[in-house]
A = this chain, B = another copy of it.
Amino acid sequence: MYRPQIKVLDCTIRDGGLINNHYFSDEFVREAYRALSKSGIDYMEMGYRSSKELCPTKEFGAWKYCDDEKIREIIDGIESNMKISIMVDAHRVREQTFAPKDQSPVHMIRVATYVKDIDKAIDLAKRTKDLGYETCVNIMAISRESEFAMIEALDQLAKTNVDCVYVVDSYGALYCEQIEYLVKLYKEHVPGKEVGIHAHNNQQLAFSNTIEGIIHNANYLDASLFGIGRGPGNCCLELLLGFLKNPKFNLSPILKFIQDYMLPLREQIEWGYIIPYMLTGILNEHPRAAIAYRETPNKDQYAEFYERLLEGVIDE
């Protein structure tokens, strides 16, 4: 699929940070930045800009906050045309500050929001857009939203100067036909804006759903190295590059990084195809029950976990 408008965003450090409290070594982030730059990736998402009041710095690594200075330190001296994005949770904005774009190494601010917080998201997106940043709004957990509420949120976004609106399958619950439906719904309700897709891999559908998004004209595509991300993780960047035929992309630097950095990391933390996350995906549930279960000695008692999950669903 060669479509020059397509932008690939690597969310390794940001989404991967959810499973290691955002503690990546400087070397890891620096070498990822180097490899992604060499591979021609359009954006690298460095992490969150979280409130230090709400999220005390003694509990998290640097990539929970993404201070401009920290980012500068990491990228210093590395040749790159890649842009940098950071994410902010719309419902967790407190004292965080944003320098004007021309004084920051960051190019894009992505606002993550639930439909119910869409007003907060729009407010933050406007604020950062006015400072000169590109802006995205990522609407999370849409597999559990009513269509009525979704459309209302999209219609509000249509009136803003946000650049891109994302379909986010937080629960890894959506099948290709639903992705088609949602991307078309977005295209209809936010005309003139780009549509993005961020898929989770609970059911091994993150890559195929991203392709489905591409087919229906989503141009902003999230992926991560070796699929790292919470639970089952995300669309694998290496798969996505294999599919996209844009000659600007180069797979080799990424393969090298995976062998040198991602394999050792996976010895320490788990992600990938893990049955409890598959089950929350099938049942369209938040992965929190699976996360908790994986911390218990019974973590591989899949049948028991499934029965409990069904009971929980019934109880709701």
Contacts and interface: CB of A to CB of B under 8 A. Distances in A.
Contacts of A25: none
A40 to B, nearest CB: 16
A256 interface: yes
A273 interface: yes
A291 interface: no
Contacts of A203: 207, 239, 242-243
A175 interface: yes
Copies in the complex: 2
A306 interface: yes
A82 interface: no
A140 interface: no
Interface residues of A, number: 40
Interface in A27-41: none
Given A272-B273, A303-B252, A176 B259 contact: no
Given A204-B208, A236-B204, A282-B242, A252 B177 contact: no
A216 to B, nearest CB: 12
A207 B201 CA distance: 12
Contacts of A273: 227, 236, 272-273
Interface string A261-273: 0010000000011
Contact of A278 (B177, B209, B238, B259): B238
B275 A258 contact: yes
Contacts of A258: 275, 302
Given A176-B176, A278-B242, A259 B204 contact: no
A203 B243 CA distance: 10
A301 interface: yes
Contacts of A227: 273
Contacts of A259: 275, 300-303
A175 B211 contact: yes
A306 B251 contact: yes
A232 to B, nearest CB: 11
5 contacts: A176-B208, A176-B211, A207-B208, A239-B282, A252-B306
